[in-house]
């Protein structure tokens, strides 16, 4: 008995003395938050789910994953509606090649819809995403929350409060607002949802346009690029800039490079969204920084001093 206690005591001391196993390093921790509120019909939910699945099978996304130092990212997906109403779809998964990305796509397709109403709490989705990031079995310097939905925050605390708390912890929140129900939803996302280093959104006019938009969005989020800054009149990546640094009517593709910068958030999209021009707009007072995302934006106007 004494020998057994001694062995147990030795084992406990060994465990305490042994360093904790470090979490595996990846280039990005990405949380995908998918709207399952009452305004999302079964067909619309299917379009969202299939759009994500198809994106993870696309060679452009595989190239984006391979572009980082470790050639890997970790992704988790969940459904959300009202406050406290979030259900996992796919747990944290490490993607490092086309096979693992395709397996993740298959898990997305097989995940059943579990929520059907309860309001629209974007703040609740952000808070849940932060809990997922904190519990992730992987480590990355870049952490991104990707929110798609067709309605403004109408339950729980204001979305901007959750957004600001997440951004204060170095997390980026990007958005894919679907304007089928609320034609000015992109304004809500720009002002109260997106934020953090290199944040952006891609509005779409309908659920039918979701698939190509989510591919552009995921490629932009995942593709690795060092932070670059510019100051003064011109950014060398922008071909049509005036001497004051104002860039107008830029046709895509602007560049094959991503020029990400902390503290800036941009709205990007197509003029087909409600017939309105969509602009890149800064989400902070920082100036002298810019971001050129991979997008289908046909007309962009921004003031960059």
Percentage of the residues of the chain whose pLDDT score is greater than 90? 52
Q: Which helix (H) or strand (E) holds 128?
A: helix 122-134
Considering only residues 224 and 7, tell me which one the structure prediction assigns the higher pLDDT. Answer: 224
- Contact (CB, 8 A) for 222 and 30: yes
pLDDT digits (tens, 9 = 90+) for 40-81: 888 888 888 999 999 999 999 999 999 999 999 999 999 999
> φ, ψ for residue 6 (rounded to 5)?
-65, -40
Distance set, CA 22 to CA 91, 137, 195, 230 (Å): 20, 9, 29, 36
> What is the pTM for the complete model shown?
0.71
The strand pair at 86-95 and 73-80 is best described as antiparallel
Torsion of CA 271, 272, 275, 279, to 10 degrees: -30
- Residues in CB range of 136: below 8 A, 6 or more apart: 23, 29, 74, 76, 92
Residue 39: pLDDT over 90:
no
Considering only residues 281 and 149, tell me which one the structure prediction assigns the higher pLDDT. Answer: 149
Could you tell me the pLDDT band of residue 225, with boundaries at 50, 70 and 90? low
d(CA 273, CA 201): 13
Distance set, CA 219 to CA 175, 233, 242, 304 (Å): 14, 29, 29, 24
Strand partners, 175: 147, 201
If you search the block for the tokens 């992704």, which residue do you land on? 75
Classify domain 24-226 at the CATH class level. alpha beta
DSSP-assigned states of every residue in 181-218:
S-TTHHHHIIIII-BSTTEEE--BSSGGGHHHHHHHHH
Q: Look over the chain and give the mean of its residue pLDDT values, rounded to a whole number.
A: 74
- Residues in CB range of 68: below 8 A, 6 or more apart: 27, 28, 222, 224
- Contact (CB, 8 A) for 151 and 181: yes
Residue 17: pLDDT over 80:
no
Q: Which of 85-89, 256-260, 275-279 has the lowest mean pLDDT?
A: 256-260
Nearest to 224 by CA among 117, 142, 133, 122: 142
CA 248 to the chain's CA centroid: 26
């Amino acid at each position: 008995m004494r020998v057994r206690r001694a062995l147990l005591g030795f084992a406990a001391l060994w465990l305490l003395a042994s360093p904790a196993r470090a979490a595996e390093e990846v280039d990005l921790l990405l949380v995908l938050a998918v709207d399952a509120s009452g305004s999302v019909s079964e067909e619309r939910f299917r379009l969202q789910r299939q759009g994500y699945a198809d994106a993870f099978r696309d060679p452009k996304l595989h190239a984006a994953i391979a572009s980082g130092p470790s050639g890997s990212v970790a992704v988790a997906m969940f459904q959300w509606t009202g406050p406290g109403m979030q259900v996992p779809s796919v747990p944290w998964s490490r993607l490092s090649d086309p096979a693992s990305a395709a397996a993740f796509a298959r898990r997305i397709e097989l995940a059943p819809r579990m929520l059907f109403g309860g309001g629209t709490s974007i703040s609740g989705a952000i808070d849940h995403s932060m809990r997922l990031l904190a519990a992730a079995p992987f480590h990355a310097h870049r952490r991104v929350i990707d929110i798609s939905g067709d309605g403004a925050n109408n339950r729980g605390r204001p979305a901007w409060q959750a957004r600001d708390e997440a951004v204060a912890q170095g997390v980026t929140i990007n958005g894919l607002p679907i304007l089928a129900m609320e034609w000015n939803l992109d304004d809500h996302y720009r002002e109260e949802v997106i934020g953090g280093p290199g944040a952006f959104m891609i509005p779409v006019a309908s659920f039918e346009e979701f698939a190509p938009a989510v591919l552009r969005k995921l490629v932009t989020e995942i593709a690795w690029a060092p932070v670059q800054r510019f100051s003064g009149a011109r950014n060398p990546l922008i071909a049509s800039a005036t001497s004051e640094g104002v860039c107008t009517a830029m046709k895509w593709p602007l560049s094959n490079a991503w020029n990400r910068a902390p503290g800036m958030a941009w709205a990007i999209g197509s003029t087909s969204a409600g017939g309105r021009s969509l602009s890149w707009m800064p989400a902070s007072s920082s100036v002298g920084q810019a971001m050129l995302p991979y997008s289908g934006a046909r007309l962009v106007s921004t003031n960059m001093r």
